[in-house]
Amino acid sequence: MEWRCILQTVDFKRIWTKPNPKHNVPTKWNWVVSYPENLQLGKYVDIGAFTYLQAQKRIVISDNVEIGSHCSIYSVNTIDGTSGIVFIMEGAQIGSHSTILPGVTIGKNSKVGAHSLVNKNVLDNTIVVGVPAKKIGENSHV
Ligand SMILES: CC(C)(COP(=O)(O)OP(=O)(O)OC[C@H]1O[C@@H](n2cnc3c(N)ncnc32)[C@H](O)[C@@H]1OP(=O)(O)O)[C@@H](O)C(=O)NCCC(=O)NCCS
């Protein structure tokens, strides 16, 4: 099992190419970004289909981040009138259908459970879940 995971990681890294997204146009992986000039993407970032990134005030995604499908990441939130840079730090994993609000930092090697609403910073190596997201544990697999 462990070897299979290692092989999958190697394959992904071998085929990874830096995306060049256009404003509000689905990429070939079917995720969409508004204001792509304000999206900073690290190496080996994996973003799932139907994820939306609102990068008007800047979104910074570091190396080896994995974002599931159907997530929403907002640097501007027109409903609550908030805005701020979103940082997703190295190795963090965001479960599918999660929402990240403006100004939030997701720490290194942290995990966000599927269907979470993240409205506060998440420390490094932390697992959070729920609406709003709360800590349930620490990521010891790093
Ligand atoms: C958050 C997550 C990483 C936790 O995994 P884990 O550390 O193995 O945790 P467990 O499954 O032991 O669950 C611990 C507790 O959190 C709850 N929980 C787990 N994931 C949850 C979630 N997404 N939302 C709400 N509660 C959750 C469990 O019900 C359990 O509660 P209990 O202690 O009251 O029974 C995982 O459940 C998850 O959501 N992964 C994302 C998967 C995904 O989206 N994949 C697609 C993208 S590739």
**56 occurs within a structural domain:** yes
Indicate which CATH number applies to the domain containing 125. 2.160.10.10
pLDDT greater than 90 at residue 90: yes
DSSP letters spanning 57-125: T-EEE-TT-EE-TT-EEESEETTTTEE--EEE-TT-EE-TT-EE-TT-EEPTT-EE-TT-EE-S-B-TT
Please report the pLDDT score of residue 11 as a whole number.
Answer: 79
| Token duo for residue 1 | 């099992």
pLDDT greater than 90 at residue 82: yes
Q: Which atom of ligand 1 is nearest to the CA of 128?
A: 1
pLDDT greater than 60 at residue 1: no
Residue nearest to atom 11 of ligand 1 (CA): 113
Please report the pLDDT score of residue 74 as a whole number.
Answer: 98
**Residue 41 phi/psi, 5° resolution?**
-110, 130
**117 occurs within a structural domain:** yes
**17 occurs within a structural domain:** no
**141 occurs within a structural domain:** no
Please report the pLDDT score of residue 6 as a whole number.
Answer: 60
Please report the pLDDT score of residue 14 as a whole number.
Answer: 83
**15 occurs within a structural domain:** no
pTM of the model: 0.93
| Number of residues in the chain | 142
**6 occurs within a structural domain:** no
Residue nearest to atom 31 of ligand 1 (CA): 136
Please report the pLDDT score of residue 4 as a whole number.
Answer: 52
**2 occurs within a structural domain:** no
What's the structural domain count of the chain? Answer: 1
Poorest-confidence range of 3-17, 41-55, 60-74, 115-129?
Answer: 3-17
For 66, the domain range is: 23-136
Q: Which of 51, 136, 139, 141 to mutate to test the pocket of ligand 1 (most atoms within 8 A of CB)?
A: 136
**Helix, strand, or coil (residue 128):** strand
